Chain A
Amino acid sequence: MNFIPTWLRRLASPQHFFGDIKLWIAWLYVLGTIGFLVGSVWGLAFVPPERYQGDSFRILFVHAPIAHLVQVIYISIAIAGVVHLVWKLKMADIYMSAAAPIGCWLTVLALVSGMIWGAPTWGTAWVWDARTVSTLILFFLFFGLIVLRRVIPNPTRAAAALSILAIVGTINIFIIKFSVVWFKTLHQPASIELFGDIAIAPVFLAPLFINIASTYVLAAGFILANMRYLVAVRNVSMTWNQEWVQGRKQ
């Protein structure tokens, strides 16, 4: 496959991945943290309050980017599942295990931030409507991916089971996305559509887009760091790994 550049192909080898990715992680952390701080301070302190909600709307700048991000992370795990099943790429297997806990914790954050917003806005922190329940199911899917790896001792079988769960679970992403269109829910429909109107005033958009971009960058950093750790753990008997440990000891 000649269309894949050499630097990317190098990353498929555990040894090169372990060495090359370290600098990437550092840069992603730095950029993501700066971006998230800028976007959050901007959103929390410098934009005007919303006309009806007042200051409580400011949780939008955390809730919306994260709730969007967890769906993207889930889809990326499912794509890794397809890649693992079809091409038997070890890195895809490692990606699934590395991204699941990040997605799980971020889903908790999306649910909790939504509850903090819902309490003053709706008059209740939790409601059993289609959007909130499907997001709760997303949390259980991430949790299932983590647990499945631990309960199946055979690594090959565990990876296959993870792939299938990830692929089939993608149906839930469709349900989350369209729940506010198909069903009557308390949760409002999407404010930003890729090919549609934006129902958010321009003054709020800059900090929102900065935070969306920074949460992507930060999550990429977290996942790559987790992958680097798993690459080290699974190749603990390799010469390059032991040489690295020796180098650290001196």
Chain B
Amino acid sequence: MKSHRRRKLTIIIFLFVGSLTTVLISIFALQHYIDHFYSPEEIVNGEVPLKGTIRAGGMVKPDSLVYDSTGLGVQFDITDLTGATVRVHYEGILPSLFREGQGTIVHGNLNEKGLFIAKRIRAKHDESYVPPELEGLIEYDDS
């Protein structure tokens, strides 16, 4: 390679690596602003604002979903890998993909008793795609 070309290539590589490092350091410093939701662990540890609307995300704990005897109200626990759980109350129609054992993101606020009052619920789909006849195979349900 001719020397002026090598010099240009070096400048480009430095430019690229320099700006990549700058941007990556910045976004990691801002990680809490980029995260879309708080985990149950952060809520249990009191790391979230008590005033105003927040988003919380986690897995709907199996066997925790309870329908109110009257009206559209439901209560369920969301949990994460650390085992921290947050009780959520919601009134309204649940997304069709919402179910126990699946991920969800709830918008709302925490009340004084630590109950999460959700105003909106989103279903979080995981990365697995499985036809009905393979349902229940450990290989897919484990992920």
What residues of chain A have their CB less than 8 Å away from a CB belonging to chain B? 47-53, 57, 60, 82, 85-87, 120-124, 127-130, 164, 167-168, 170-171, 174-175, 182-186, 188-191, 197, 199-201, 203-204
Residues of B contacting A: mostly: mixed
- CB < 8 Å neighbour of A50 from B16, B36, B129: B129
Bound-state Cα–Cα, A49 to B20, Å: 41
Within the complex, which residue of B9, B23, B134, B135 is in contact with A86, where a contact is CB–CB below 8 Å?
B9
Pick the residue among A120, A129, A130, A201 that contacts B131 (CB under 8 A).
A201
Look across to chain B and name the residue whose beta carbon is closest to the beta carbon of A50: B129
Pair A168/B131 contact, Cβ less than 8 Å = no
List residues of chain B with CB within 8 A of the CB of A201. 129-131, 134, 140
Q: Are A199 and B140 in contact (CB under 8 A)?
A: yes
B87 CB–A CB distance under 8 Å: no
Cα–Cα distance between A190 and B34 once the two chains are bound (Å): 19
Kindly supply a per-residue 1/0 record for chain B positions 98-129, scoring 1 wherever the CB is within 8 Å of any chain A CB and 0 otherwise: 01001001000000000000001111111111
* B69: interface (CB < 8 Å): no
Q: Is the beta-carbon distance between A82 and B12 smaller than 8 angstroms? A: yes
Chain B, 82-109, CB within 8 A of any chain A CB = 95-97, 99, 102, 105
Q: Given A122-B95, A123-B95, A186-B105, does the pair A57, B129 have CB atoms closer than 8 Å? A: yes
**Which of these, A129, A170, A200, contacts B36 with CB under 8 Å?**
A129
Contact in complex: B97, A199 (CB < 8 Å): no
Of the residues B37, B120, B143, contact of A184 by C-beta under 8 Å: B37
Residues of B within 8 A of A120 (CB): 96
Nearest A residue to B11, CB-CB = A85
| Interface contact B8-A51, CB-CB below 8 Å | no
* Interface check B47, CB cutoff 8 A: no
**A121 touching B97 by the CB < 8 A rule?**
yes
